[in-house]
C-alpha cells in the first residue's frame, strides 16, 4: 500500500517547504522536478498528488489526464491543487474538470490546513486500497471455490456415465439422467463463477478461431435444451439458409448465447414460448432471443447487465446469482459486439439481442465437404489414471475399463512416476494438485525418463496460466474437471 505524497510545484524552495511541513507530520513525500518524472512516479504508486496550478497549464495537463483516465476501476487518485485565486482560477477549473477527484487549496495555505487536507486525501486513498484488496481476496476465493467444486463433480459425472452404460432399469436410467443434467447445470454455474474472477482480474484471453453462426447456435441450444425442456417451453428457431463464418472464441460466444437462452427459460413461466432468430445484417451477426415471460421493468433495463444484478418480480423473491447476463455482455464486448435488452414491461416478455462481427458467407461446397473418416478404434490403449481423490480415480478407471481400455491407477505423483517406470502406459491421465509430488513435477520426471507417452492433465484449475504451466511441464493436453467424457474418449482414441 503506497501512501506517499507526490509533490510537483513551481520552485525547489516550495518543494522543500512542503516536504518539511508534511514530514514533520509523519507523511512520506517525493518531490518531482518535471512532468516525465511525475508520470513515472505516478506509475509506481502514491497516496495523493500535491501540485501547483501554474505547473499544469496547457499541454502539461495532458499526461495527468491520461493517467487519470487509465486508472483501474478501484482507483480514484486524490489531487490537491495549490491555487492563488481559488475556484476563480481558470487553471484550477481545468484541473477540476480534467482530473476529477480534485481539492483546491487557496494560497497562502496554513500549515494545519495543508496537513488536514493531506490526511483526508490519504484516508480516502487507503479506503480505495482496502476495496482493491477485498476485491482481490474475493476473486481468489471464487477461483479457489470453483476449483474445489470441480473435484467432487468429476466422480459424480463419471459415475453417471458408468450407470448409463450398464443398461439400468428404466426408472434408474431416468433418475440418472436427472442427476447428470443437474451436474451439468452446476458445472456451468462453477464456470460462471470462475469467469467472474478471471474478468475482474484481466485474466481472460480469447482463443479466437474460425467458427460459424450455425455452429454457435447449435451448441448454445444443446447447452440450454434441458432447461427449456424441463419447463416445457415451446422453442422456435429461425436461421438463415446460408452459412456465415465468424472469427471468435467459439466457447465464449456459445456461453454468451446459452446464458441468454437460460435466462429466457428461467424467467418464463412453464409452458411459455421462446423464439431464437439468427440473422446477418451487413457486418453483424445477430442472435435474437425473445420470450413471453415475466418481462422487465424500465428500471431493471438500466441495471440488468451489472454484476450480481437482480430483476425481482413483485411478490416473488429474487433468484439466481446475477452473473450470467454480465458475463454475456463482457464476452460480447471483448469480441467487438454488443448485447441489448428490451421489454414492454412486467408480464410482457423480454428480448435480448446479441450482435457480433461476421466474416464471410461459407460456400455451399465447403459446407457439404465430406467429413473425415472416423478413427480406427480397434486398438485400445493402456491408460494410467492418477488422482489423489480416490473416488475420482476409481470411477474414471471403471469408466475406461467399460470402454475397453487397459487401465491402472495411482493416487499421487510419486506413485505415478514409479508406475510409469515399472510398466510404461500409452497415456497418463493426471491430476495436478496432489500430495508428495504434484502433477507438474511428475510430468517433468516422466518426460525426462521416458519418451512416447502422452500426458493429459485433468484438473480443476482451468485458467490460461494453468494451461501454459501444464504445457511447460510436458503435458500434451489439458482438460478441466468435470471433463466431457466423450471428448476425453475422442482424445484417447486419436493417434
* Location of C-alpha cell 444484478: 309
Q: What is the reported pTM?
A: 0.58
- Find where cell 491520461 sits: 66
H or E, element range at 113: helix 111-165
* Residue in this structure with the C-alpha cell 505547473, named with its chain if needed: 55
The grid coordinates listed for 265 are 427459460
Residue 171 CA neighbour count, 13 Å, CB half: 0
Q: What is the CATH number of domain 5-109?
A: 3.40.50.2300
Cα–Cα–Cα angle for 321, 322, 325, rounded to 5 degrees: 130
Question: What are the backbone angles phi and psi of residue 26, rounded to the nearest 5°?
Answer: 80, 20
Full pLDDT tens readout for the chain, 495 residues: 789 999 999 999 999 999 999 999 999 999 999 999 999 999 999 999 999 988 888 788 888 888 888 888 788 999 999 988 766 777 777 878 888 889 999 889 999 999 999 999 999 999 999 988 887 787 777 777 777 788 888 898 898 888 888 877 888 888 888 888 778 778 877 777 777 767 766 667 777 888 999 999 999 998 888 889 888 999 999 998 888 888 888 888 998 999 999 999 999 999 999 999 999 988 889 999 999 999 998 888 888 888 777 766 655 555 566 788 888 998 999 999 999 999 998 989 999 999 998 765 554 444 444 444 444 444 568 999 999 999 999 999 999 999 999 999 999 999 999 999 999 999 999 999 898 899 999 999 999 998 889 999 998 887 777 889 999 999 999 998 888 888 899 999 876
Q: Which CATH architecture has domain 209-364?
A: 2-Layer Sandwich (3.30)
Q: Using an 8 Å Cβ cutoff, are 237 and 221 in contact?
A: yes
CATH architecture of 382-492: 3-Layer(aba) Sandwich (3.40)
Residue bearing cell 484471453: 205
Residue 484 burial class via C-beta count within 10 angstroms: exposed 0-12, middle 13-18, buried 19 and up: middle
Closest CA to 355 of 213, 150, 190, 193: 213
SS3 352: strand
Amino acid at each position: 500500500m503506497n501512501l506517499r505524497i507526490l509533490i510537483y510545484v513551481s520552485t525547489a524552495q516550495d518543494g522543500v517547504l512542503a516536504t518539511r511541513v508534511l514530514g514533520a507530520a509523519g507523511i512520506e513525500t517525493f518531490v518531482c522536478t518535471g512532468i516525465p518524472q511525475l508520470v513515472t512516479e505516478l506509475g509506481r504508486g502514491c497516496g495523493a498528488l500535491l501540485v501547483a496550478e501554474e505547473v499544469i497549464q496547457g499541454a502539461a495537463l495532458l499526461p495527468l489526464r491520461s493517467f487519470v483516465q487509465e486508472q483501474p476501476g478501484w482507483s480514484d487518485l486524490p489531487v490537491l491543487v495549490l491555487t492563488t485565486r481559488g475556484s476563480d482560477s481558470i487553471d484550477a477549473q481545468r484541473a477540476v474538470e480534467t482530473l476529477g477527484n480534485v481539492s483546491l487549496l487557496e494560497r497562502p495555505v496554513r500549515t494545519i490546513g495543508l496537513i488536514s487536507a493531506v490526511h483526508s486525501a490519504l484516508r480516502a486513498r487507503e479506503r480505495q486500497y482496502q476495496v482493491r484488496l477485498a476485491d482481490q481476496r474475493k476473486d481468489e476465493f471464487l477461483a479457489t471455490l470453483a476449483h474445489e467444486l470441480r473435484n467432487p463433480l468429476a466422480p459424480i459425472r463419471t459415475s453417471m456415465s458408468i450407470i448409463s452404460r450398464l443398461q439400468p432399469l428404466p426408472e434408474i436410467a431416468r433418475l440418472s439422467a436427472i442427476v447428470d443434467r443437474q451436474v451439468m447445470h452446476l458445472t456451468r454455474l462453477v464456470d460462471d463463477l470462475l469467469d467472474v474472477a478471471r474478468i475482474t482480474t484481466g485474466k481472460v484471453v480469447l482463443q479466437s478461431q474460425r467458427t460459424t453462426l450455425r455452429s454457435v447456435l447449435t451448441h448454445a441450444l444443446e447447452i440450454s435444451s434441458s432447461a427449456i425442456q424441463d419447463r416445457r417451453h415451446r422453442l422456435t428457431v429461425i436461421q438463415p439458409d446460408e452459412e456465415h463464418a465468424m472469427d471468435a472464441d467459439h466457447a465464449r460466444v456459445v456461453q454468451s448465447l446459452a446464458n441468454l437462452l437460460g435466462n429466457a427459460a428461467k424467467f418464463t413461466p412453464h409452458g411459455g414460448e421462446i423464439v431464437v432468430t439468427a440473422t446477418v445484417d451487413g457486418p453483424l451477426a445477430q442472435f435474437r432471443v425473445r420470450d413471453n415471460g415475466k418481462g422487465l421493468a424500465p428500471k431493471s433495463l438500466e441495471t440488468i447487465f451489472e454484476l450480481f444484478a437482480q430483476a425481482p418480480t413483485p411478490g416473488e423473491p429474487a433468484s439466481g446469482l446475477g452473473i450470467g447476463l454480465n458475463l454475456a455482455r463482457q464476452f460480447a464486448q471483448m469480441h467487438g459486439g454488443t448485447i441489448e435488452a428490451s421489454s414492454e414491461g412486467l408480464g410482457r416478455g423480454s428480448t435480448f439481442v446479441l450482435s457480433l462481427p461476421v466474416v464471410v458467407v461459407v460456400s455451399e461446397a465447403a459446407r457439404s465437404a465430406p467429413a473425415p473418416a472416423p478413427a480406427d478404434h480397434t486398438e485400445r490403449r493402456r491408460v494410467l489414471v492418477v488422482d489423489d481423490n480416490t473416488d475420482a480415480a476409481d470411477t474414471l478407471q471403471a469408466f475406461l475399463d467399460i470402454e475397453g481400455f487397459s487401465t491402472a491407477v495411482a493416487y499421487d505423483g510419486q506413485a505415478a512416476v514409479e508406475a510409469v517406470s515399472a510398466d510404461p502406459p500409452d497415456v497418463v491421465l493426471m491430476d495436478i494438485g496432489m500430495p508428495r509430488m504434484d502433477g507438474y513435477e511428475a510430468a517433468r520426471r516422466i518426460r525426462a525418463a521416458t519418451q512416447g507417452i502422452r500426458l493429459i492433465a485433468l484438473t480443476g484449475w482451468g485458467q490460461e496460466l494453468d494451461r501454459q504451466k501444464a504445457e511447460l511441464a510436458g503435458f500434451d493436453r489439458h482438460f478441466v474437471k468435470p471433463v466431457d467424457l466423450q471428448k476425453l474418449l475422442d482424445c484417447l482414441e486419436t493417434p
